[in-house]
Structure 1
Amino acid sequence: MPCNDITDLLHLSLNQDDRITAYSLQKRTCGAEVGEYSLLSHWMDNKSIDDILASEPEQVLESKSPKDDTEEFLYLKHFFAVRNCLESFTGKRPSSDKDSVSIDRVDCSDEGVDIQASLKVEALATQVKSCSGCRCRKKT
């Protein structure tokens, strides 16, 4: 991949009940973590697809209490990455290499489903920026 490719790569695992068992978000070119590989794992673990799709960014910020704008940005980036991927996976959002999310691979087994998706960083950043402007949490 060329160095100017700033696409993120999401790996998402669901069990047979469509509940999140694991996820990681990293840079596609070098594999580096985005803040942390699974920054919101404690918040997302065992949540269903429907739980995530019905969740709002404020819920993440209220439960995680970010210390600064950078941490808030990273929490929201992880949240929107997983939610956008699940919207594409369930057909609620387009999924192609021209869209903000591209489902690259889906593997099904007796244990559940593993999804690999590419996410355009610009689209995620736009979502995070627009959410930050709504003052969904009080700045202290």
Structure 2
Amino acid sequence: MPCNDTTSSITVEINKDDELVDYQYEKISCGKAIGERGDYLNFCLGKKIEQIADIPFQEALKKCNIENSEGEFLLYLEWKALRELLRQYLGMERDSDSDRYKIAEITADEDRTSVEMIIRPPDEMPPIISCGEMKH
């Protein structure tokens, strides 16, 4: 799969009290994390998943103290992925643009539940620069 494929996945770990334990949000093609994996995860850890599913983006943005448009965009992708996974898992009303988000697998034991979602790219996107071509 080429690196410029933007199909991604999010895997969420939930404890027996329906609290968020962890999540990983990454590109499927190369396994590279999307976003910084820090502030928003830390803000959500230990919260009830129903509460997280209702967090407005503006609140997430404020809590994470993002200072540039790229960071804001990456936070939006992370927020949206987590929100869609939790809303579908809980049977809550989905956002109007949620057709690209599909739960792929749910596994559980007596202490934890793991939920994986696959996120397809939008039908129309601007040209994508692959990770290997980006200058850091």
What corresponds to 2:9 in structure 1? 9
The structural deviation recorded for 1:101 is: 1.1
Which AA in structure 2 matches 1:45?
L
Does the 8 Å CA contact 1:107/1:113 hold for their aligned counterparts? Answer: yes
Does the 8 Å CA contact 1:24/1:38 hold for their aligned counterparts? Answer: no
Q: 3-state DSSP class of the match of 1:26?
A: strand
1:94-113 alignment, distance < 5 Å: 99-113=99-113
1:1-140 alignment, distance < 5 Å: 1-3=1-3, 5-37=5-37, 40-92=40-92, 99-122=99-122
Which AA in structure 2 matches 1:19?
E
Name the Cα RMSD after superposition: 2.3
5+ residue gaps, structure 2: 126-136
The structural deviation recorded for 1:25 is: 0.4
The structural deviation recorded for 1:2 is: 4.9
5+ residue gaps, structure 1: 126-140
1:39-65 deviation digits (Å, cap 9, x = unpaired) = 521111011121112210111111111
Runs (4+) off by over 6 Å: none
Alignment partners' CA distance in 1, 2:86 and 2:8: 15
Between the aligned residues of both structures, percent identity stands at 23
TM-score normalised by L of structure 2: 0.78
The structural deviation recorded for 1:107 is: 0.6
